Structure 1
């Protein structure tokens, strides 16, 4: 085992909340996608709300719960309780991830999100499909949440993948310190790097943070030879105007001829993760926005794609 997998004699762990095999949308070829928990952004349209916080959380399908109370008796933290015969969850108490409630639930209504796995355990999952990676030019993609939130563990996982001859990619919002970026940059074969909005005020409104650090990191990666594919979540009334699209194009103008710039993916808005908000007793932020419908028609998406294509930048519209 490589020494970098250990700290003080103990193997590093990463807190993950999902794995997805046979993925073909997040990097070249067939890939295994590992989701790290925790994110510094709070994008209003996030489709993985269970990946925002770094701690373990209880997800509950309320329509499956029969209010039997079995989870109440086994939870050591008293997160579960009954009120007038109805099962409730105290969201102010931090879940320790013991999964006793999940195991006790006869209806499979409870799921604990957040699991600590050693780098070796994650690599065991990744290696299962190594033949598919070799045949397709695929590999490992690490997303989240924001995987750079666990930079030391991310570095160890990427290094272990390279030791096995497995291609690596990460999905990142780009909001990380220079220290974290320096830790991982030489172990990433492809950065799938988000640009959500060029205007700093709008960026902060929609994501909770300013974009100065993000754009600085993007420029640094491009200028230092790291392979980058820009990804743009596209939402109607948020960042779909020609002015906003061209602001991204203008930022990338100096880099579009760089061999390490791999073009742009357009990611249309969808509502696939909305149901998970209810399972976490969270409100879906986009439902509180006055604009209403944020999805774009095929014609509107084609028009955005054409704007970018006319600027001689490779652009791909990702259609799930």
Structure 2
């Protein structure tokens, strides 16, 4: 099996997908120009797709904290073993660990994104968590995540239904491992080396970057508005249901009060009926005694 580290495209992609999200497109285009002598490589670089926000967050996590990602994948492997061995106790324990771990790691990924100036919606966070869950359930998803070259989020049920078509930057990425790039604390004793390089396309690139940022902001706004509308519809639906239930409850209370009044009336009537029954029984007993006395008198004649 060829060493994926010897693949120049993957090495270049490793650098590109480690960049801040807004820098990807101009850096990719510049890299394609730099390798224009190799037309096949330049075309392959130009064909690298920009990652979605959720995929970028997972790629960032893989590079910033590979140990935590390895822990996620290790728990996933143990979970798959427990499923194969049908160990119910282990299965429940690992499933619990999986949910706790994916939630915790997603929170860490959102924090890293904020440090990069990217705010994420709950919908994006759900996609990140779904991707981590897929990596725990499916070995191919684990390799895709570990490559650090994701371009879309992943979703899997653990039933072998995972489709990785177009999910990574290149098919060869499944054998690749992203290079760790932890954030180093700035050294106050070192002054940055500044080099001014004139760029004739600076205005065009700046305009393109601004357009891209605007498009991303609009996409985030659209997603937030969608979530807001869904939440508002849910609130309105529950408010209507609350009013309906309150009306039904008031009606039932009124009905209960009416039934209680009727019960009191029936109780009074029952008492009167029971008294009348007692009198009637007494009259029957007296009449029977009289009948018996008359019979005896007749028989004596």
Judge same fold: TM > 0.5, yes or no: no
What TM-score do the two structures reach when normalised by structure 2? 0.20
Q: Which has the larger radius of gyration?
A: 2
Which of the pair is proportionally richer in helix?
2
Which of the pair is proportionally richer in strand?
1
What TM-score do the two structures reach when normalised by structure 1? 0.20
